[in-house]
Amino acid sequence: MNRSTSSISPKSPPNPEEETIAAISTPFGESGIGIVRISGPSAEPIARKLFRPKRDQSYFISHHFHFGEIIDNQSGNPVDEVLIVLMKSPKTYTREDIAEIHCHGGYFILQKVLELALREGARLARPGEFTKRAFLKGRIDLTQAEAVIDLIKAKTQTSLEIATQQLRGALHREMTQIKARLIDSLSLMEAHIDFPEEEIEPIASRKMRKDLETIVHQIDEWINSYEEGKVFREGISCAIAGKTNVGKSSLLNVLLKEERAIVTPIPGTTRDVIEEVLNIYGIPVRLMDTAGMRKPADSIEQEGVRRAKERVADSDFVLLMLDGSRALDDDDREIFAEIKGKKKVVAINKNDLPLRISLEEVKILFSKDPVISISALKNNGIDDLKQAIYSSLIRREVRATPEHLIVANIRHKTALTQVRDNLSNATKGLEDGISLEFIAFEIRAALEALGDLVGETATEEVLDRIFEKFCIGK
């Protein structure tokens, strides 16, 4: 399916895809190699102008590397020794001709090669424009284009797997199947709308209802997977909260397996917020060690406590730490008020020392939250704590690979909710014996929402919002 831009927005300029775009596709900085990518009808002529092959080669073999130099034609000077690969359309990332110049990865070299490409007629690519072209040319649907950015940003194995699943078209395939089933139902209905004298056979009507119900049920499962998907894709922020000296910094260190934060027996050691990213069974967790909360002794500590409270209030999740070797006191109780309503796990630390805290009281106070006994000093119970954090966020077992389709993108969830609502209305209509016109209307609305989801009917505005999140060169 080849989408022309005019079908997406009548206002878009005529065929911007005719332009050849270029960008540096590797990060800025020094590296072994760096890549300048050119895509569009002039990719080959531009590559020919810039490139001088080492061996006498009058032509490029598509999808093969060629060794040579990039020459600045104005000065006649060589810029860099490179490998160049020309990929002729359509078997390319954008489905257009692509030239990739693999230079040495120096900021100046790459900038220079890019400038030469622009001088020869390419224009600078916008963020995500290569991927956008792949979408506009119909090589991938919108959910797959979105997966590209998730793949690049993936921080854990699980977030990578979710992105890969989507990039390979898992969502796209499911949507295509649902679409086909809805079109079947719709055509049956339309036939009866056109010839009302012929009633739909009760069997056909029952089958149609059953089919719609199955689809609604399936979509519900995907919608419900969103909370989990979001946690894996975006990660969570988690503040370690507790009064001074309970062992917050010790816990951060033991979780990170490095001496990241200063630990001393003096209460009020941590002043600033210390932040590190931790991978808890595939969940990227932004962990924050904060100043112990108590009546501050000086203005520095006062600022520390203010920051601690702010972070606790803003975080998605709280790890409340109590000192098991001391009875609960007013400092603890003040923190309980701060974290009211937060999703949390309670860690009772220092279980290597005699127990002085009242476990009953803690369990009554936090009846809805997991309470885990640990020793940050002796590295006891840390896995239990990680499991408890995981289970508070994800309803299924700790497993590396999600076996079902996970919806991790709010845009997808919103579109699926729309589809589900329309189809629920349709099934209810069939149940109540409401006119077929009404039911057909709901199914058409569901199909439209599906079209938005995969990008068939997405507006230029929606596309811009999606692709502006990409890096330049992708």
Per-position x/- string for 101-140, each x denoting binding to ligand GTP as judged by CB under 6 A, each - no binding: ----------------------------------------
Our finding on whether 381 is near ligand GTP (CB under 6 A) is no
Element (H, E) at 386: helix 382-393
**Residue of 25, 42, 249, 387 interacting with Mg ion (CB under 5 A):** 249
Distance CA 277, CA 287 (A): 6
Decide: is 268 part of the binding site for ligand GTP (CB under 6 A): yes
- Torsion on CA atoms 176, 181, 187, 189, rounded to nearest 10: -140
| 75 CB neighbour count, 10 Å cutoff | 8
246 touching ligand GTP, by CB under 6 A:
yes
425 near Mg ion, judged by CB under 5 A: no
Which of 158, 250, 387, 425 contacts ligand GTP by CB under 6 A? Answer: 250
In the complex, the smallest distance separating the C-beta of residue 364 from ligand GTP, rounded to whole angstroms, is 24
Question: Considering beta carbons, is residue 89 or 325 the nearer one to ligand GTP?
Answer: 325
The minimum distance between CB 285 and ligand GTP, in angstroms, equals 18
Which one of residues 209, 233, 350, 386 is an interface residue with ligand GTP (CB under 6 A)? 350
Q: What is the CA radius of gyration of the chain?
A: 29
Q: Which does 455 bind (CB under 5 to 8 A by kind): Mg ion, ligand GTP, none?
A: none
d(CA 334, CA 316): 20
Q: Which of 247, 282, 402, 429 binds ligand GTP (CB under 6 A)?
A: 247
For Mg ion, give the closer residue by CB, 79 or 263: 263
**Is 270 an interacting residue with respect to Mg ion (CB under 5 A)?**
yes
Among 212, 263, 335, 426, binds ligand GTP (CB under 6 A): 263
Euclidean distance between CA atoms 84 and 37, whole angstroms: 10
Size of the site for Mg ion (CB under 5 A): 4
Report the C-alpha gap between 425 and 421 in whole angstroms.
6
Give the other-Cβ count within 10 Å of 123's Cβ.
15
- What are 71's two structure tokens? 């020459």
Rounded to whole angstroms, the Cα distance separating 243 from 238 reads 16
Rounded Cα distance, 236 and 227, in Å:
11
Q: Which is nearer to ligand GTP, 127 or 292 (CB)?
A: 292
Stretch that binds ligand GTP, among 13-21, 43-51, 244-252, 355-363 (CB under 6 A): 244-252
Nearer to Mg ion, 191 or 262 (CB): 262
Label residues 203-233 b or e (16+ Cβ within 10 Å = b): eebeebbebbbebbebbeebbebbebbbbbb
The vertex-133 CA angle with 129 and 137, nearest 5°, equals 170
Shortest approach of Mg ion to residue 249 CB, angstroms? 3
Is there binding between residue 229 and ligand GTP (CB under 6 A)?
no
CB of 355 to Mg ion, least distance (A): 22
Strand order in the sheet with 371-373: 274-280, 283-289, 236-241, 317-323, 344-349, 371-373
Nearer to ligand GTP, 301 or 456 (CB): 301
Site residues (CB under 6 A) for ligand GTP?
Answer: 242, 244-250, 263-265, 267-270, 291-292, 349-350, 352-353, 375-377
